[in-house]
Amino acid sequence: MQYQALNNKIIELVGGKENIQAVVHCMTRLRFTLKDREKADTEALKSIDDVIDVVNNNVSYQIIIGTHVADVYDELVTMLGIKNNTDEIVADKPKKNIVKSILDVVSESMTPILEPIICAGLLAALLSIISLTGIISVDSSTYKIFDALRTAVFYFLPILMAMSSAKRLGASPYLAVALAATILSAPINGVAGLTLFAIPLPQITYANSFIPILLAVWFMGYVTKFVKKIVPNTLQYFLTPLLIMLITLPATLIVFGPLGYYLGEGIIQFFNLLMKYVGSWFVMMLYSALQPFIVMLGAGNFIMPVVAALIASDGYDPAFISSATISDIAVGGAMLGYFLKTRNSKQKQLFGTVTLSAILGVTEPAIYGVFVKFRRPFIAVMIGGGLGGLFAGLTGVKAYSIAWGLFGLPAYIGKGDFMNLWLMVTAVIISFVGAAIAAYVLGIPAEDGIPSQESVIKPKKLQADSESHYTTLSVDSVVDGKLVQLSEINDAAFSSGAMGKGVGIYPNVNQIASPVTGTITAVFPTKHALGITGSDGVEVLVHIGIDTVELEGQYFEVLVKQGDTIESGQPIANVDFEKVKAAGYEIPVIIIITNTNEYLDIIPIADKDVKVNESVMNIILR
């Protein structure tokens, strides 16, 4: 428990467990209902490093913690052994979509390892070009050394995945990497005849895959929590890692490895039945459309035994290698479509980079870096790849060797069969153009990570001195009124800057507007606070009044709900400020940038009268 020491001090200084009748929390503070407030040592509480301030008013005893208060609260109620009875946590939490949750975990785990994946993709493209031009022979040591870098990235993908997913899934990164290295080791990876506790293990190749290790690390996260609960603190350092590995490694070899293996076997049998009873044309169309999903599942290499058997018996592969190439080119087409569509320079750079590697037969950078995160490219490839695969299947395209990508096209000549080559080239063009058009038309919604052109907050230049300029983003006023500096707000949680930099505005109208274009990420049930994430990643808290949480939503009307996409200046709430003041509450509307630390600086404007859509802060980018 990360905040156990802090919570122990708080419990002691408010008079012990027996003095706590109830506790809830809002955005920044713990709100205690104490049986006897005289037992609380306010000055001692204020002296705790992690406590910003203590407020003792007629309604509750408040300990201001900061934006991480929810985590402190969760541990506190566990230690107190009372029901989590807060009614001030963010309202309207959407129901979890299991598919989206899984894709989010995969996407978040893949993002940190994009650098080596993109490096490997570009290196593959470079090696293909220089080998065909004869600059370097594929048999030379120079080629093999650089090719080792390319192959190593994908061979050791389980290790990279373990490292990047561990913290997200609650496991130790070092133990996760140790687990991945173990299943990739020579005694396990691809070895036949293994048994564990007299249980026979199937022959499984873990290299180039990530689903087994991702499942294993997910399981390790739960094992970690369990082991830490049962092992005494004095033995944690020695026993915890050992017990985690003793439980997780067998589970990986017995459960998660075979799960991926049988998934691959099922795919092979499925396509074999289709080729036998429906026709190879249908298989080519289906595989060309679905290959990105198959690669994402780590099952891309499971077709190799089938392909090798087909070429050995018939001299050619009637479906799979051709489909893989068509699908790869379709991936490149989809990325080109998004490259042409987006106006976001960072995303344009990413799309342009992965386009080339996909065309040359390495789609992992696109699939792991773009498809899993943005979803819609899958549809574009299904359209373009499906059309190209259908054409190739109907015209009987054959692959005479195991080679794919743009520079694998000579494999379709066979013994002088140039018509087969031209048919394959036509199929590739169909898939590329079809996917590019589909991607351009589909676009990527702002909530998937790329803001629409209309929603981009346009940077402007703020002159710092005569020699340098900083690129800045602007945050607008949420209400017409008098702007004051945050230090003038009569609430330590805000005036101290502990929650982030910002401004306060004393309103002279009753309507509150959004300060940025983005998405509503939090709406408090008491309606006094809203969280907004801007299209450029700026995280904004709009807090209406001081201690107005105690009004429990009275005099407040929220016009949006969590998940809504909004524009800067769009009304988000109405407040009867006269009645709020009459009830005895101060009414500044506070705008806080809660991810202040991600920026070089945040500079509020000077005190003056402001209006909605007028800039009140400049965020200086790093």
Q: List active site positions.
A: 26
In angstroms, the CA 33 to CA 22 distance is 5
Q: Which residues pair with 620 in a beta bridge?
A: 472, 601
In angstroms, the CA 28 to CA 238 distance is 37
In angstroms, the CA 236 to CA 226 distance is 12
- Nearest Cα neighbor of 590 from 533, 548, 537, 535 is 548
In angstroms, the CA 177 to CA 182 distance is 8
Report how far apart the first and last C-alpha atoms of the chain are (Å, whole number).
34
Long-range contacts of 32-36 (CB under 8 A, 24+ apart): 32/60, 32/61, 32/62, 32/63, 33/60, 33/61, 34/61
Q: Which residues pair with 593 in a beta bridge?
A: 540
CB 209 within 8 A of CB 253: no
CB 240 within 8 A of CB 188: no
A 10 A CB-CB count for 47 gives: 12
* DSSP per-residue string spanning 54-74: EEE-SS-EEEE--TTHHHHHH
* DSSP per-residue string spanning 505-538: EEESSSEEE-SSSEEEEEE-TTSSEEEEEETTS-
Query: Tokens at residue 275, please?
Result: 């080729």
CB 414 within 8 A of CB 403: no
Full strand arrangement of the beta sheet holding 29-34: 20-25, 29-34, 61-64, 53-56
